[in-house]
Structure 1
Amino acid sequence: MQIYIDQKDKSKVAIVESSEIEISDVQGALDLMASIKYTDGCDKIMINKSNITEEFFDLRTKLAGEILQKYMNYNVTIAIVGDFEGYDSKSLKDFIYECNKGKRVFFLKDKQAALHALHSID
């Protein structure tokens, strides 16, 4: 796993790049967040959908809710980048839509859109 920092003025975004699944459970998500927050000084994270276990996208597992609640509790903003059109779940589509209306969690199609959204947050 590599972590790159994209800085725009005072805004810093940690970009996670990996060929592995980096978030497979709540503890893994917390470890990643803590490492980035305290080592790199970032409270904004961009990660690819492929670096997150597929269970996250099955809302019945409650994994997404648990992980995202932890990130919110620690004041960390996250953008998950990837193609979400392939999911048939209406509840997941609604969840993604609602998240994208807020300012803490984003599900976006590409890296540029994610960086723009994350850098726009104070």
Structure 2
Amino acid sequence: MPDQIREIAGTPVLVCDPAGPPLATEADALDLIGAAFAGAEVVAVPAGRLDPTFFSLGTRFAGEVMQKFVNYRLRLAVVGDISAHLAASSALRALVHESNRAGHVWFVADLDALDERLRARG
């Protein structure tokens, strides 16, 4: 399935294909942002498409990607199991906790959890 815009809880979401190209550079993030401009408000990226450096906060890659989405006023949802990364980094656990409390970047287990989040935000 290619990346496609779908409505989830009344919100247009660019749902990215798990088998799509990895998100490994800022340019890759900008490509997704560009694709979202076709009408999406949220970009749902499978955790498996994120380069491992995203989860290593010392690289600053996660912050750069997250900031790009904020700058373009798009929400980012990282979708999937990141428990192995969380177990290895207390800093990442803190980032995920704080991100999930705010409205711009969420880490969710699956699209059903994203649906619940979007419904709760109204």
What TM-score results when the alignment is normalised by the length of structure 1?
0.87
Displacement of 1:118 in angstroms is: 3.7
Distance 1:17 1:60, change over 3 A: same
Give the secondary-structure state (helix, strand or coil) at the position aligned to 1:70.
Answer: helix
Distance 1:74 1:120, change over 3 A: farther
* Map 1:103-122 → 2, pairs under 5 A: 103-118=103-118, 120-121=120-121
- Distance (whole Å) between structure 2 residues aligned to residue 117 and residue 61 of structure 1: 29
- Distance (whole Å) between structure 2 residues aligned to residue 23 and residue 55 of structure 1: 10
**Counterpart position of 1:73:** 71
- Distance (whole Å) between structure 2 residues aligned to residue 36 and residue 83 of structure 1: 23
Query: Which letter does structure 2 place at the counterpart of 1:4?
Result: Q
Give the secondary-structure state (helix, strand or coil) at the position aligned to 1:86.
Answer: helix
**Counterpart position of 2:22:** 22
Structure 2 residue corresponding to 1:63, chosen from 58, 61, 64: 61
**Counterpart position of 1:31:** 31
Structure 2 residue corresponding to 1:50, chosen from 43, 48, 51: 48
- Distance (whole Å) between structure 1 residues aligned to residue 9 and residue 111 of structure 2: 18
Give the secondary-structure state (helix, strand or coil) at the position aligned to 2:67.
Answer: helix
Query: Which letter does structure 1 place at the counterpart of 2:77?
Result: A
Structure 2 residue corresponding to 1:41, chosen from 36, 39, 42: 39
Displacement of 1:21 in angstroms is: 3.8
What TM-score results when the alignment is normalised by the length of structure 2?
0.87
Displacement of 1:26 in angstroms is: 0.7
- Distance (whole Å) between structure 1 residues aligned to residue 107 and residue 44 of structure 2: 10
Displacement of 1:43 in angstroms is: 2.1
Give the secondary-structure state (helix, strand or coil) at the position aligned to 1:114.
Answer: helix
Give the secondary-structure state (helix, strand or coil) at the position aligned to 1:2.
Answer: coil
For structure 1, the 5+ residue unaligned runs are none
For structure 2, the 5+ residue unaligned runs are none
**Counterpart position of 1:13:** 13
